[in-house]
A and B are shown apart, each in its own frame.
Chain A
Amino acid sequence: MASTGWLTIREPLPAKARTWVTMASFVLPLVVWCLLSYVPFLWHPMTLVTDPGDVSVAGDYSFIEKDQLVDRDVFAKRNLELSAAGAHLAEGQRANPIYLPAPHEVARAFYTAFTTEPQRRGDYWLHESLWHSCQIIFWGFVYAALFGVPIGLLCGTFSLFSRLFEPFIDFVRYMPAPVFGALAVAIFGLEDAPKVAIIFIGTFFQMVLVVANTTRAIDPALLHAAQTLGASNRQLLQHVVVPAIIPNLYRDMRILIGWAWTYLVVAELIGEKSGISAFIYQQQRYRHFDNVYAAIAVIGFVGLAFDQLLAQLGTLLFPWESGNHAVSRLLRRKSSSSVVGQAPASTAAPAFDDESSGPISEEPVPTMVSRVRPSQEVA
């Protein structure tokens, strides 16, 4: 197994190893988390007091109580005070700080977040918050793509638009989207509109530049070939530039939608707090860090699932790149039922010889080319 080249440069992993390594990419962090959470001597810098000992003994550290989480050296010093007084010692377990809940606690929070009602009236369920966030992302991204893709396409195709748009966009894109927060609230009010605007600002400017670069990366030979086949400027754009970049454009969009998620938290905390960020913010204030982790993990899961969905969809949409012809086969089966009259392709011999006797010569194929060469007439 080890000799099959796990570290060969730019070689794909063996098929079996691929599955294992993909799993390991999730399992390894989980294992580290479990070790830190369940193996006390690894980290656990705190002590959870189970018995404060003799509370009557006075001292600098007499504040410790049952169920309190204290630094280990505080706990040790309290026990020094107690032992000096010859009193009953405090007891406790090593524990992690409150900001690192154990996996099972997060898992439980994850479950209960979806099954228990919010603590306060008017608070949202986790799934409601999440759905709201998805809508913000969706609209912010749709507006960005609606303007960003055509402008990027024009910039990548025509020097005129590249000169006209790109310098200013370069100037704006270095401004962090959150700085427009106050402005967005002033213009769009307190509800969802300013949040969508922040997502838009965060992705639009990057999108124009990314799409422009993708467009510029088209093999110029394809454009030349199309030109020599008689394509006009407009046809070149419509029938060559657009289809040539679409698979890469799709990949760009997958990356940029991740970008949109990173602006989500900032966007949702301006104006009236909303969505998954409001949920996290609320749980943070209650110091329910298990809920915080659960919500963060949900974002990760949603992002990963969505991206995987898009990736799979991509292989279906672009069969010339993926070699997955399921969709085109389906389409062909549909269309072939309407053209049963035509001879199946397999019966045609792939040779020159039958060219003169094929159905072409008896068909009125409207070819302007004369099939008899002048030389044959002379000879």
Chain B
Amino acid sequence: MNPVASDRLELPSYRHHTEQVRRHLAEIAQRPVVLEVDQLARTFQGPSGAMPALTGIDLEVRRGEFVSVIGPSGCGKSTLIRILAGLDRPSSGGAFIDGVRIEGPGAERGMVFQGYTLFPWLSVMQNVMFGLRMKHVSKARAEEHARHWLKVIGLERFMDHYPAQLSGGMKQRVAIARALANEPRILLMDEPFGALDALTRCSMQKHLLEVHSQVDVTILFITHDLDEAIYLSDRIVVLGANPGRTLEVIDVPVTRPRSPEQFLTGHFLATKKRLEQLIHGTDDAMTSSQHMDLAC
């Protein structure tokens, strides 16, 4: 399994794309832009004056694309996603969904949070129905929808359970179904698997890839886990800290469909090495990848 013969592993360039990947990326580039971020900046008023958390963020996410935002803590990735969700306001610049400026929270941008945010007083089914009920969809239709989405995430059997009766991974799956039931233009995911253990996280990633391949949904995914970002995304936006800014946008050279075996392919490791360099200034891609492989 381990292809390392000498100390240094010969890796392809992370910019090198196989024909299949090139076709996939070119095909994505044809699709309409769903989310556009234009010179977005956010400054917080700290005790020692203004603190820039994000500066000059530009981003375009196309329909059906899976984009990850990765960066060290303090790079403003959570601030970015909160602004996109409408829970925070940019200091300058703006973000647009289908060309319409984001002014506040809205149902067309679904969000899955890091913490568990299912409504504890509602059953799994009622949680998934929540957004539809807010839109005054009839109860029967909302139930039909909810049943469908529960099936997609594979938790139809648990529809009458309360969130307290579910495991952490199941809760996050319901949260994903709840967001998807609204049929959002984009699904914002703020480190949704951050609170889960390694094994659950691994199966959640698989679930998410499957949902993404089955359902026409655009995903913006925040993470600090390099493997997770490469495993899931078409593109990775790497942010740097102090102030938060874009360091590089990487087109992931790993072919789809994805599987855990790809963790040790040259393209995967090359991408990871580049991410390591950008984020930590080191390149210990090999060692942590083997960890990941064991977990999956």
The answer to whether A225 and B111 have CB atoms under 8 Å apart is yes
B157 to chain A: which residues have CB within 8 Å?
345-346, 348, 350
- Number of residues in B with C-beta < 8 Å to the partner? 61
Indicate whether A355 reaches chain B with its CB closer than 8 angstroms: yes
Bound CA–CA A354/B211 (angstroms): 13
- On whether A230 and B217 interact (CB within 8 A), knowing A222-B117, A320-B120, A345-B157, the answer reads no
The answer to whether B216 and A371 have CB atoms under 8 Å apart is yes
The smallest C-beta distance from A351 to any residue of chain B, in angstroms, reads 5
The answer to whether B148 and A360 have CB atoms under 8 Å apart is yes
From A28-36, A179-187, A199-207, A361-369, the one touching the partner chain is: A361-369
A354 to chain B: which residues have CB within 8 Å?
151
A318 to chain B: which residues have CB within 8 Å?
121
0 or 1 for each of A77-92: is its CB under 8 Å from B? (1 = yes):
0000000000000000
From B35-43, B90-98, B175-183, B267-275, the one touching the partner chain is: B175-183
0 or 1 for each of A341-379: is its CB under 8 Å from B? (1 = yes):
000011010111011101010010111111111110010
The smallest C-beta distance from A361 to any residue of chain B, in angstroms, reads 10
Nearest A residue to B184 by beta-carbon distance?
A228
- Number of residues in A with C-beta < 8 Å to the partner? 48
B158 to chain A: which residues have CB within 8 Å?
350
A346 to chain B: which residues have CB within 8 Å?
157
The answer to whether A246 and B121 have CB atoms under 8 Å apart is yes
From A16-24, A38-46, A149-157, A236-244, the one touching the partner chain is: A236-244
In B65-118, the 8 Å CB interface with A consists of: 85-87, 104-107, 109-111, 113, 115, 117
Indicate whether A235 reaches chain B with its CB closer than 8 angstroms: yes
The answer to whether A373 and B213 have CB atoms under 8 Å apart is yes
B7 to chain A: which residues have CB within 8 Å?
none
- On whether A222 and B216 interact (CB within 8 A), knowing A228-B86, A345-B156, the answer reads no
Which of B23, B117, B120, B151 sits near A355, CB closer than 8 Å? B151
0 or 1 for each of B211-222: is its CB under 8 Å from A? (1 = yes):
101111100000
Indicate whether B16 reaches chain A with its CB closer than 8 angstroms: no
Bound CA–CA A235/B23 (angstroms): 46
Bound CA–CA A9/B105 (angstroms): 44
Task: Tell me the total A-B contact number using a CB cutoff of 8 A.
Answer: 142
The smallest C-beta distance from A130 to any residue of chain B, in angstroms, reads 37
The smallest C-beta distance from A21 to any residue of chain B, in angstroms, reads 28
- On whether A348 and B121 interact (CB within 8 A), knowing A320-B164, A373-B213, the answer reads no
The answer to whether B216 and A373 have CB atoms under 8 Å apart is yes
Interface centre among B63, B109, B134 (most CB of A within 10 A): B134
Bound CA–CA A224/B81 (angstroms): 12
The answer to whether B156 and A375 have CB atoms under 8 Å apart is no
Indicate whether B135 reaches chain A with its CB closer than 8 angstroms: yes
The smallest C-beta distance from A301 to any residue of chain B, in angstroms, reads 33
Nearest A residue to B155 by beta-carbon distance?
A350
The answer to whether A321 and B120 have CB atoms under 8 Å apart is yes
Indicate whether B292 reaches chain A with its CB closer than 8 angstroms: no
Which of A228, A232, A246, A366 sits near B87, CB closer than 8 Å? A228
B147 to chain A: which residues have CB within 8 Å?
360
Bound CA–CA A370/B214 (angstroms): 10
The smallest C-beta distance from B91 to any residue of chain A, in angstroms, reads 20
The answer to whether B214 and A374 have CB atoms under 8 Å apart is no
Bound CA–CA A19/B98 (angstroms): 64
Bound CA–CA A350/B106 (angstroms): 30
The answer to whether B113 and A221 have CB atoms under 8 Å apart is yes
- On whether A350 and B119 interact (CB within 8 A), knowing A320-B162, A374-B64, the answer reads no
Indicate whether B17 reaches chain A with its CB closer than 8 angstroms: no
B197 to chain A: which residues have CB within 8 Å?
none
B216 to chain A: which residues have CB within 8 Å?
369-374
Indicate whether B210 reaches chain A with its CB closer than 8 angstroms: yes
The smallest C-beta distance from A291 to any residue of chain B, in angstroms, reads 47
Nearest B residue to A344 by beta-carbon distance?
B157
The answer to whether B162 and A319 have CB atoms under 8 Å apart is yes
0 or 1 for each of B177-199: is its CB under 8 Å from A? (1 = yes):
01100110000100000000000
The answer to whether B119 and A375 have CB atoms under 8 Å apart is no
Indicate whether A332 reaches chain B with its CB closer than 8 angstroms: yes
The answer to whether B109 and A228 have CB atoms under 8 Å apart is yes
Bound CA–CA A379/B121 (angstroms): 45
A351 to chain B: which residues have CB within 8 Å?
154
In B141-169, the 8 Å CB interface with A consists of: 141, 144-145, 147-148, 151-152, 154-160, 162-165
Indicate whether A193 reaches chain B with its CB closer than 8 angstroms: no
The answer to whether B117 and A371 have CB atoms under 8 Å apart is no
Bound CA–CA A340/B24 (angstroms): 47
Indicate whether B31 reaches chain A with its CB closer than 8 angstroms: yes
The answer to whether B85 and A228 have CB atoms under 8 Å apart is yes
The answer to whether B119 and A230 have CB atoms under 8 Å apart is no
The answer to whether A368 and B160 have CB atoms under 8 Å apart is no
Interface centre among A232, A352, A363 (most CB of B within 10 A): A352
Indicate whether A229 reaches chain B with its CB closer than 8 angstroms: yes
The answer to whether A368 and B163 have CB atoms under 8 Å apart is no
Indicate whether B27 reaches chain A with its CB closer than 8 angstroms: yes
A sample of 9 inter-chain contacts (CB < 8 A) reads: A219-B115, A229-B107, A230-B134, A243-B119, A321-B120, A369-B217, A371-B214, A374-B31, A375-B24
Extra contacts, 17 of them, besides A219-B117, A222-B117, A225-B175 (Cβ < 8 A), are A221-B115, A225-B111, A228-B107, A229-B107, A229-B110, A229-B131, A231-B134, A320-B162, A320-B164, A332-B160, A350-B155, A369-B183, A369-B216, A370-B216, A371-B216, A375-B28, A375-B64
The 8 A-B residue pairs with the shortest CB-CB distance, nearest first, are A230-B107, A227-B105, A225-B117, A229-B131, A228-B111, A320-B162, A350-B154, A348-B156
Residues of A at the B interface (CB closer than 8 Å) are 219, 221-222, 224-232, 235, 239-240, 243-244, 246, 318-321, 323, 332, 345-346, 348, 350-352, 354-356, 358, 360, 363, 365-375, 378
Residues of B at the A interface (CB closer than 8 Å) are 23-24, 27-28, 31, 63-64, 85-87, 104-107, 109-111, 113, 115, 117, 119-122, 130-131, 133-135, 141, 144-145, 147-148, 151-152, 154-160, 162-165, 175, 178-179, 182-183, 188, 207, 210-211, 213-217
